[in-house]
């Protein structure tokens, strides 16, 4: 008898070459698989809900795995966290799920948060955890630009050249820009996203916030369906996979 588990995972993406296992590179998936193998005594494959890029963080990544040696559910998160040390990865929750659950393919929605610090001074404590933009940003103009992206569109302009999605057409449910003093947060929700789509959004929104472009420019580049007209892609530092939705509710901390 095996045990299928859903894990709620957080991690600091700075030391990793992304989520997905890569030969000779540190990745979140490989770190979790080493911990699971130490626990189960044999190789274990861990599947994630989202394949985050190098340097991207998560506070609500979801993964699933199958253990060949079932264990008391209350002990699994602690046991995995013991084997994960010293990697900056933590299993927040573990629960048993039905055999048809898949972390990626069962997901009905995903939420990302991008954090910007608008200030001239360099970062000290939060370096690598958000994007410092050294000029003031107009949050209202950024939101006006973001509104043009809501709904179903061909997002070719915001699609990375390496994207493996079958179609550039996606439905963006929300894209909100909120200011907290000099801290600005961009939150995006959709069933799924194209490769580097959120970072492409943010880079273009910052061009508007800096006054380099008008809010209507966002609709123009969206309609162009041309990657070359996209603004600069925002760095990985400020991006967090915050929540994954499933039928019956979200998995989040």
What does pLDDT average to in each consecutive run of 10 residues of the chain (253 residues)?
Answer: 96 97 96 98 97 96 97 96 98 96 96 98 95 98 98 97 92 97 97 96 98 98 97 97 86 49
Domains along the sequence of the chain with CATH: 3-105 (3.30.70.580), 108-245 (3.30.70.660)
In this structure, the number of other CB atoms found within 10 A of the CB of residue 187 comes to 18
pLDDT digits (tens, 9 = 90+) for 84-103: 999 999 999 999 999 999 99
Beta strand 57-67 with 183-190 is: unpaired
Per-residue confidence (pLDDT) for residue 248, from 0 to 100: 72
User: How confident is the model over 146-169, as pLDDT tens digits?
Assistant: 999 999 999 999 999 888 899 999
pLDDT above 70 coverage of the chain, percent: 98
SS3 state at 15 = coil
Q: Would you give the end-to-end CA distance of the chain in angstroms?
A: 29
Say how far apart CA 100 and CA 98 lie, in whole Å.
Answer: 5
| C-beta of residue 91 within 8 angstroms of C-beta of residue 73 | no
pLDDT at 107: 97
CA distance 248 to 196: 28
pTM (2 d.p.)? 0.95
Active site residues: 53
What pLDDT score does 250 carry? 55
Q: In angstroms, rounded to a whole number, what is the distance separating the alpha carbons of residues 209 and 229?
A: 17
pLDDT in the model for residue 252? 46
């Amino acid at each position: 008898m095996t045990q299928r588990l859903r894990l709620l995972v957080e991690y600091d993406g700075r030391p990793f070459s992304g989520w997905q296992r890569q030969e000779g590179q540190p990745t979140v998936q490989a770190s979790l698989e080493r911990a699971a193998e130490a626990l189960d005594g044999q190789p274990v494959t861990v599947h994630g809900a989202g394949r985050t890029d190098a340097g991207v963080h998560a506070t609500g990544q979801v993964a699933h795995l199958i253990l060949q040696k079932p264990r008391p559910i209350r002990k699994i998160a602690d046991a995995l966290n013991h084997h994960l040390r010293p990697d900056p990865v933590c299993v927040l929750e573990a629960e048993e799920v039905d055999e048809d659950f898949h972390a990626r393919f069962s997901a009905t929605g995903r939420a990302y948060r991008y954090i910007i610090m608008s200030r001239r001074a360099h970062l000290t404590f939060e370096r690598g955890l958000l994007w410092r933009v050294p000029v003031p940003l107009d949050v209202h103009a950024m939101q006006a630009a973001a509104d043009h992206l809501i709904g179903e569109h061909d997002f070719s302009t915001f699609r990375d050249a390496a994207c493996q999605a079958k179609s550039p057409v996606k439905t963006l449910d929300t894209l909100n820009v909120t200011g907290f003093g000099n801290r600005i947060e961009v939150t995006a929700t959709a069933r799924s996203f194209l490769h580097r789509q959120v970072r492409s959004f943010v880079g273009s929104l910052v061009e508007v916030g800096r006054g380099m472009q008008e809010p209507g420019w966002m609709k123009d580049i969206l309609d162009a369906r041309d990657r070359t007209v996209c603004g600069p892609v925002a760095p990985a530092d400020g991006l967090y996979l915050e929540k994954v939705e499933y039928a019956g509710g979200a998995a989040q901390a």
